[in-house]
Amino acid sequence: MKIPINDTTPNFATLKQNLIENFSNYSFFERSKNYLVANKNNVIGANIIVDKKNIYVIGNIPSRFGSFLLIFIVLLFGIIIPIILYFIFIHFKMKRFEKEIASFITNLK
């Protein structure tokens, strides 16, 4: 999800602090100076990337174990069944988490 930056948007440090304070049940860690990863659990998460003009909130699988598990299941069962299971059990929860974080960032303005 792409959120445009304007004059009232907080900087990266303030954004990180606000997210940590308001989403205490989720874990956050910084990957680089403008890259934050939010974890709901080992399978549901989001990348928060602060660019010069935009803030990007991208749903992902935050742990290596979750990624390896998905790849292993795809290799074991083929493409169709794991993709259907991915969309049923992971994708929609990931999008919901992404929208929750993005709506909070949008309301910070």
How much is the pLDDT for 30? 94
Query: For 20-35, how does the pLDDT look when each residue is reduced to its tens digit (9 = 90+)?
Result: 999 999 999 999 999 9
pLDDT, the chain, mean: 92
Tokens linked to 41: 């659990």
How much is the pLDDT for 42? 87
Q: What sign for the dihedral angle of Cα 28, 30, 34, 40?
A: negative
Length of the chain counted residue by residue = 109
Considering only CA atoms, which of 53, 25, 20 is closest in space to residue 36? 20
Domain assignment of residue 12, given as a range: 2-107
Q: Is 59 helix (H, G, I), strand (E, B) or coil?
A: strand
- Is residue 84 scored above 80 in pLDDT? yes
Helix (H), strand (E) at residue 67: helix 64-77
Q: For the chain, what is the domain count?
A: 1
Confidence band for 8, pLDDT divided at 50, 70 and 90: confident
Give Dmax over CA atoms of the chain in angstroms: 50
